[in-house]
Structure 1
């Protein structure tokens, strides 16, 4: 509790300094807008366990990004206003200013960095593209070549890096675009598709939840990457602030605790 209080006070002082700087320039930035309205608008897809998942039973968001969102809001002394978005519309919604930041397991990559601002990384070394399949098929699917067959059905959610990976690596397999990302594991388990392209942390979660599923290549992912907090370009003070929060959470051990809880 003392560490959290110190973090909030330290970040509060930084916020005041940044607001004073913005005021002298005569331009309102995200920090000033958020302070004035008393809420931070957070864009999220709510379909990515264990990052950001809207639990239909409780109506609340769960996962590491939900906890990070709460910590960021607490540091600012404001409430959270979640703004639903989708993977196909994430970029356009962000650029249109529908939310102040987006957190939902967003991969850091060159294309996003060129078009938007991305925070420093978190979850380094814990994310990578892999597959989810039925347990009985685990030995069958040990390579891209073994999967890229006309009879293999690969299910992907639209608009994100999973879809891009599938199009780049499969020329013969059947690609099935399915909008409800959180429901794809069930589709695989019930035999409506053979493979889900997903992330290592998501695959591990579903294997724990459903014995019918397996992630045979989880420890040898096809790619490696980290996640970041997404925002509009052009507000360096806001980017600095978000990076400051992440740095403090790493320094006091909070980030390590959250990564162990959700990602390992």
Structure 2
């Protein structure tokens, strides 16, 4: 994972701000109505994974919990989907949204963005033994190739743009999608390299291709409620501190091992 270091004058200012922009202590009753509402699809490990009883875990979940501690507010995770995030973000009163969210112009229409805390890129996942068949966009964009993508996010956008000649199946969520490839009902899925590195550890029959040389590159960010400069500034200060102290790197190492962009044998 190539973590973007945003320091210099702005980074120094944000770091300084993190020491002063801390919400005062409030009563338990006030806390109950003052929860930090964190919206997340919860289907994009290692960034965010939904578990039973409304619990979540993942890199972004840990970052969100830490941010809530800075604000001295309880955290409340709110489920959304990639397809409905545009409408749900305001309707569900999200303060922030997390879960492996990529910087895209369409999302700037309904939310503000945090600073970039890392970079990623799209790369193929396929069955082991098929790596020479689907390594390039040209190899995937063929009429006989069965491409699968989760509905509503940048993976669907990438597939529609780059694989118009392939057979595209849109899957409703991102949890069981890999079973379709594992069971031979789909040939290839192009997704974030970090997710690919995580997923193949749960699916030994699959392989992520050239995660160190993805097809593109984009920033990973958190969405922030629009027109809330205090929330946005405090979040950016918090993320800057997490980058400066190496905590973001440690979180990625914890989930996918060291050198997260190195190819998996």
**TM > 0.5 between the two?**
yes
Q: The TM-score by the shorter chain falls in which range? A: 0.7 to 0.9
SS at match of 1:105: strand
The answer to whether residue 45 in structure 2 is matched with residue 52 in structure 1 is no
SS at match of 2:100: coil
CA positional deviation for 1:219: 2.1
Residue-by-residue CA offset, 1:201-247 (whole Å, 9 max, x unaligned)? 11111222222101123222111112111023211121111101111
- 1:6 aligned partner: none
Residue-by-residue CA offset, 1:1-20 (whole Å, 9 max, x unaligned)? xxxxxxxxx85741359xxx
Residue-by-residue CA offset, 1:145-191 (whole Å, 9 max, x unaligned)? 11111111111111100000001001211110111211111110101
Partners of 2:40 and 2:77 within 8 A in 1: yes
What root-mean-square deviation, in Å, do the aligned CA atoms of Structure 1 and Structure 2 show? 2.2
SS at match of 1:38: coil
- 1:261 aligned partner: 254
Residue-by-residue CA offset, 1:26-73 (whole Å, 9 max, x unaligned)? xxxxxxxx96823111000000010000134x7521110110111011
2:217 to 224, 228, 232: 224
1:162-181 aligned within 5 A: 162-181=155-174
- 1:148 aligned partner: 141
In structure 2, distance between residues paired with 1:41 and 1:103: 11
- 1:251 aligned partner: 244
Q: 1:12 to 1:97 in 2, by over 3 A?
A: farther
- 1:203 aligned partner: 196
Partners of 1:154 and 1:175 within 8 A in 2: yes
Structure 1: gaps of 5 or more residues: 1-9, 18-33
- 1:91 aligned partner: 86
The answer to whether residue 150 in structure 2 is matched with residue 157 in structure 1 is yes
In structure 2, distance between residues paired with 1:203 and 1:86: 20
- 1:38 aligned partner: 34
CA positional deviation for 1:111: 2.8
Partners of 2:38 and 2:96 within 8 A in 1: yes
1:12-31 aligned within 5 A: 13-16=20-23
Q: TM-score, with normalisation over the residues of structure 1?
A: 0.83
CA positional deviation for 1:123: 1.7
Paired positions, count: 237
Moved over 3 A (4+): 10-13
In structure 1, distance between residues paired with 2:34 and 2:23: 15
- 2:104 aligned partner: 109
Relative to total residues, which structure has the larger helix share, 1 or 2? 1
Residue-by-residue CA offset, 1:93-129 (whole Å, 9 max, x unaligned)? 11335211100110012332344200001123xx101
In structure 2, distance between residues paired with 1:62 and 1:48: 10
2:113 to 118, 141, 151: 118
Structure 2: gaps of 5 or more residues: 1-16, 25-29, 261-265
In structure 2, distance between residues paired with 1:216 and 1:11: 39
Larger mean CA deviation between 60-69 and 42-51 belongs to: 60-69
- 2:10 aligned partner: none
Partners of 2:32 and 2:74 within 8 A in 1: no
In structure 1, distance between residues paired with 2:23 and 2:45: 35
Partners of 1:123 and 1:259 within 8 A in 2: no
